[in-house]
Amino acid sequence: MKLNQVLSHTNQVERSKFVNCIDKLCQDLKGNPDLAKQLKKIDGQLKAASGNEITQLFTLIQPLFKQHLKEQLAIGGPQASLLVNILVRDGNCIATIPWIENLYAKEYKEINELSLGLIEDIRQNESSDFERLNRLEIYLECMTTAFNNDLKANRTAKISDDERSILNVLAERLSLSREEIYALEHSVDPIPELGLESALEYLRENGIILINRRRSEVMIADEVIEVLHDVLGKELHDKYVLRILRSFSDADLSNILKNHGYKIRGIERQEKITTIAHSGLSIRNILMTDLHSEDATQNQRKDRIKQLIEDMDLEIPRIGTRLQDRIDVLIEHLRASEEEEFNILSVSGYKELLETLSPPPLSVEDRIRADFEVENKETLDPERLKALSITPLDILYLYSNDEIKALRNDMSLPRRGNPRSQIIDSFASANDKLIENYHLLACRDLQGLQSAGIEIKEADIGVKFEEATRSILEQLEMTVDEDLRKDINTAKDKADIIISLENDDIIIGEAKSFKNGEFSKYSSTSRQVKAYVKRCEANGHRVAQVLIVAPAFSDDFIDAADMDTEINISLLEASGLQKILAAYKQRRNPNFSPKLLTKGGLLKADLISKSI
């Protein structure tokens, strides 16, 4: 979840520690002209700043925030470090405190068992060769020395930021996994098994997490996770590492395991992937060394990375000539692809993909919960998955290549080309077809929709019209905030669409499909939207406008909306919204602002289209 959204889901008290942290870092960077300009906009009053303004400040002070995190993790102790390692995993950026406690207990047990096993193996090792156990012993001795250095100066034993950076380089050069590093550190500086509340409070005090007390929910913004990945030396999200591993052959996986002393005989493919992914091995080292046989030439290694890029169906125009170059472009491409992946399917397309994968034996929900550690009581709809940074392509990579090919064949898609891309394209095409026939959805023209090749039940037309409206607004790059809509909606009052603007302002949207003629039910519609406005204002948001989309409006409806003094209402015909989207797509650099929909009265789609 983006920082702006995290801030919108917490009150002033809950976000106060994060704001204080940003305020302190801003004071340390006062000489920056861009920062001074941004602070001037808010008169230096961060506590009164909007979520968007705080996000802009965070971007400017990010280098200082990174240094702040390094220092705080160095002095926060092993419990805080382990907790951060859990929170930055894909799927854990939003989680209830009881669920985090459950994940922590599981992680602690595994590290404790591994720690005991490694120490025993090191003690019994009699070899003097530079093999895995000797490398582990070297790191353990260095870790012990770094931890005990403070005792010589009569200070509390701990590993400083500088010592940590040296140990990180040593671990990388010794090809140790993150799992092994945690286990060895646990033997030197034991991780507390209990007392997680104090560790969570420590992270909150230092602006790393925010806690929604009403929901007992911990949130960590995507932007903060990226900085933490940098601090921890993680070049890629775990989900991208899994994609790479699932593109490897069994022989490739065995090479990686063998290079790190793991068993390979009698181990199933899925277990190999899980072991490598959970160990926290450097993906760069895997691609550079571990993947290849010892006698592989440089050209063979380069060709293998080229083949991997082709197998993953990545559109990278220039992959470079050196092995290092090819690994760099692969990692950078995956790092930059997340936003694009969210946009390949609309919310409705994403929802249809999940429904297609739901019947057994595919069991998409179980796989999502297992791979992304999502709590059982969590609803797995597209909006929640997006908040957890889980894209449609992430979902398809939960399945083996054979399963995906079987699904493609069941969907009667062509058998040539990348099957995951074909499946995504099929749902994108279905969504495009709905938008192309948006006017028929608005008029509830069942026969027209079926003639256009859209199989739909009449009872589902209203829901599809709402989903298509959201999709169009998303394509106009408006922030359709489903999490906020869920917060505001009750069993009685359910707004169709919430659009977040700057300064915590919002637009409430209503999509009204109507058969035969012009929409004329103003009294019932106004009662609905006024209830939504009250709910939003009670949650601390200012409603800048109410936008009603319908196939057409009666003159009485238009007049009543113009004369309503309680709320500001804009009316937009469905064909007009379709026209605005078409104009937007035709422009190379479209100039569209949500403010164009806040003029009030019946909006003139032709004028808006020309202004784009």
- The string of pLDDT tens digits covering residues 283-308 is 999 999 999 988 889 999 999 999 99
Q: Is the pLDDT of residue 429 over 80?
A: no
* pLDDT for residue 418: 83
* pLDDT for residue 26: 87
- Helices 178-188 and 97-124, axial angle in degrees (round to 10): 80
CB 267 within 8 A of CB 257: yes
CA–chain centroid gap for 89, Å, is 10
How far is residue 164 from each of residues 65, 119, 149, 169, 237, measured CA to CA in Å? 18, 21, 13, 9, 22
Highest mean pLDDT among 84-98, 422-436, 448-462 belongs to 84-98
Q: Is the pLDDT of residue 98 over 70?
A: yes
CB 599 within 8 A of CB 571: no
pTM of the predicted model as reported, rounded to 2 decimal places: 0.78
360 band by pLDDT with thresholds 50, 70 and 90 = low
- The string of pLDDT tens digits covering residues 379-414 is 888 888 988 889 999 999 888 888 888 889 998 898
How far is residue 285 from each of residues 5, 177, 328, 331, 401, measured CA to CA in Å? 35, 10, 12, 12, 25
Q: Is the pLDDT of residue 506 over 80?
A: yes
350 band by pLDDT with thresholds 50, 70 and 90 = confident
Q: How far apart are CA 312 and CA 305, in angstroms?
A: 11
Calculate mean pLDDT across residues 427-445: 87
Look at 465 and 429; give whichever has higher pLDDT. 465
Q: Which residues of 272-282 are buried (b: 16+ CB within 10 A; e: fewer)?
A: bbebbbebbbb
Q: Is the pLDDT of residue 45 over 80?
A: no
Q: Is the pLDDT of residue 223 over 80?
A: yes
* pLDDT for residue 572: 95
Q: Is the pLDDT of residue 339 over 80?
A: no
Q: Is the pLDDT of residue 85 over 80?
A: yes
Burial of 203 (0-12, 13-18, 19+ CB in 10 A): buried
* pLDDT for residue 259: 83
Q: How far apart are CA 229 and CA 208, in angstroms?
A: 13
Calculate mean pLDDT across residues 167-185: 88
Look at 485 and 18; give whichever has higher pLDDT. 18
Q: How far apart are CA 370 and CA 360, in angstroms?
A: 16
How is the beta sheet containing 479-480 ordered, strand by strand?
479-480, 497-500, 505-511, 542-550, 569-573, 601-602
* pLDDT for residue 68: 93
- The string of pLDDT tens digits covering residues 234-273 is 899 999 999 999 889 888 999 899 888 788 888 888 889 9
Query: If you search the block for the tokens 């749902």, which residue do you land on?
Result: 427
Q: Classify residue 588 by its DSSP letter.
A: S
376 band by pLDDT with thresholds 50, 70 and 90 = confident
- The string of pLDDT tens digits covering residues 447-464 is 899 888 888 888 889 988
Q: Is the pLDDT of residue 511 over 70?
A: yes
114 band by pLDDT with thresholds 50, 70 and 90 = very high
The lowest-confidence range among 153-167, 443-457, 510-524 is 153-167
- The string of pLDDT tens digits covering residues 312-330 is 888 888 888 899 999 999 9
**Averaged confidence pLDDT in the chain:** 88
Q: Is the pLDDT of residue 361 over 70?
A: no
* pLDDT for residue 12: 84
CB 51 within 8 A of CB 8: yes
Q: How far apart are CA 220 and CA 19, in angstroms?
A: 14
78 band by pLDDT with thresholds 50, 70 and 90 = confident
Q: Is the pLDDT of residue 358 over 80?
A: no
